[in-house]
Amino acid sequence: MACLIAAPCSGSGKTLLTLALTALLRQRGRSVQTFKVGPDYLDPQLLSRVSGRPCRNLDRLLCGSSWVERSFHWWGRQADHCLVEGVMGLFDGRGPGDEGSSAELAAALQLPVVLVVEASRQAGSVAALVNGFRHHRSDLTMAGVVLNGVSTARHQALLSDALAAIGMPVLGLLPRHPGLSLPSRHLGLLPAHELHNLEGTCAEWAALAERHLDLERLLPLLAPPSSSASGSPASSTGGDPIRWALGLEGEAAAPEPVTLAIAADAAFHFRYPEATELLEAMGVELQPWQPLADAPLPPDCQGVILPGGYPELHAPELAAARRSLADLRHAAAAGLPIYAECGGLLLLGQALEDPQGEAYRMAGLLPFTARRGALQLGYRQATPSHNGLVARCGEPVCGHEFHRWELHPTPTAPSALRASAALNPSAALCAATGLNAATGPSAAASMSASNGVMDGIQQLWQLEGWGCPPRSEGWTTRTLHATWLHLHWAGCSAICRRLHAAARQTAPFAVAAAAAAAPTPWRPGSAGS
């Protein structure tokens, strides 16, 4: 049975241990399925690269217990080894309790816990710490401890003797080594695609595991889940969780195919692998779109997905991507469905400030400027205020908020923004909508005449969370969903169905944009006759 790699707090070395074990097993030619507890994009990206298969998030709050059990058993059985990296401290969940915590998941899936303890400034006190974690919940099994930050042989002996006195196995250690630190920035680890010489680093991680871990006792804990590991109906069925989430089990007919563009580059890469799989099971063909490269929208796309990421670190390049921004405005004017969350939301505003406070013009579809602010972090219960592209009144969802940028209302388009070329005031409407003065009013029918902001936008939903005062958040229309909130679509698969349905009703981008830009034919009795 797989194990859960947990710790007393963040920064203890959970990710390093998980990577070291995964790299070692891959070096030995074994397949490894990794999982990550909670709502995380960055650790799973790195674990996916090292393991060679998508890391799966296990989040009971976002996806529900049935999905988590199905996901763990379905994908866990498809590899030689299986391990789960926890989130934050072992008992850290929503609010002060352990709901949604690594401990709750370990108890539900009957996973033994390997506790990684950062012990660089401890000796005998480590026994009190570990003993407290061992007995805090009676339904958990502590398989042993891995000590991180051990500096000398004497230090190791002190720690080992202290743990031996309480009968706790030491399963290895992670020595102090500057080359083993994992670089990070304001939302967590650096994305995997920004790490240089990852292959060489994997070899170092594998060597670390070989030299310093008790592999004879650790590796048996990484066995894949057995079919009899859980008696719940969800896990015993063993069915594909993707088709189960969509209600497609037993359906032979494939849904009507549609094409969606999805922003996929260094600025937009926060998404769960299941989002792609759920859409593909619905008959959606996803075409990657690179705004940073100023790429045009695919001409045959019938909608646009803007996932999260780090657009704030690429604001100058995005402002200079005039063709991409213009195409996004054309898509909005033509009524193509647009789904945007977190970083994708920032692309739709009037302006985006970079970390130095310089403002750059964005697509101009929503009335805000975004700039660095206080950290917003935590689970949120979202209650829709209006029916929109994918949300419906009476259908609350659980999502996760994690960002350091905040939105400031801008009732008119900002001036004096840094961009690749100056925009003169007489061209403000044309610039905001991406249209030239000869296009005519019909193409901008869904835009406000003042600044290019979409007409008919409404408040998306009310957010509530522990320690977070209730507030209105997000924007929606029949063709738009824009929010800070990250959703895991396995827990709200209606999103996929509604995106698919909205795209089916839309002509391909090239056709829809051309039709929207065409002047309205004059008819007797029409305005101006």
Taking the C-alpha atoms of residue 184 and residue 409, their distance in angstroms, rounded to an integer, is 31
What's the rounded Cα separation, in Å, for the pair 395 and 134? 39
Distance CA 500, CA 255 (A): 9
Which of 199, 188, 145, 185 is CA-nearest to residue 3?
145
Query: Could you tell me which residues come within 8 angstroms of residue 145 by beta carbon, excluding any fewer than 6 positions away?
Result: 114, 115, 116, 117, 130, 163, 168, 169, 170, 171
Q: How far is CA 432 from CA 55, 159, 184, 421, in A?
A: 40, 63, 36, 14
In terms of Cβ atoms closer than 10 Å to its own Cβ (0-12, 13-18, 19+), residue 330 is buried
User: What secondary structure does DSSP assign to 179-206, as a single string?
Assistant: GGPPPEETTEEPPGGG-SSHHHHHHHHH
The helix (run of H) or strand (run of E) holding residue 401 is strand 397-409
Residue type, 144: G
CA atoms of 79 and 156, how far apart (whole Å):
34
**Residue 167 has which token pair?**
């009968």
Confirm if 509 and 297 have CB atoms less than 8 A apart: yes
301: annotated active-site residue: no
Q: What is the 3-state secondary structure (H, E, C) of 355-384?
A: CCCCEEECCCCCCEEEEEEEEEEEEEEEEE
Neighbours of 415 (CB within 10 A): 11
Q: Tokens 């940073």: give the residue.
A: 292
> Tokens 């709502």 appear where?
39
Non-local (6+) Cβ contacts of 280 within 8 A are 286
CA-CA distance, 72 to 35, in Å (whole number)? Answer: 8
Which residues, 6 or more positions from 22, have their beta carbon under 8 angstroms from its beta carbon?
A: 32, 34, 47, 50, 51, 83
Give the closest residue to 148 by CA, choosing from 256, 11, 254.
11
Close Cβ partners of 464 (under 8 Å, ≥ 6 residues apart): 380, 381, 383, 470
Q: Which of 342, 398, 492, 496 is catalytic?
A: 342
Closest CA to 20 of 171, 166, 137, 123: 171
Residue 135: half-sphere exposure toward Cβ, Cα within 13 Å = 7
Using the structure block, give the residue that is written with the tokens 């549609």: 258
Q: Which residues are catalytic?
A: 342
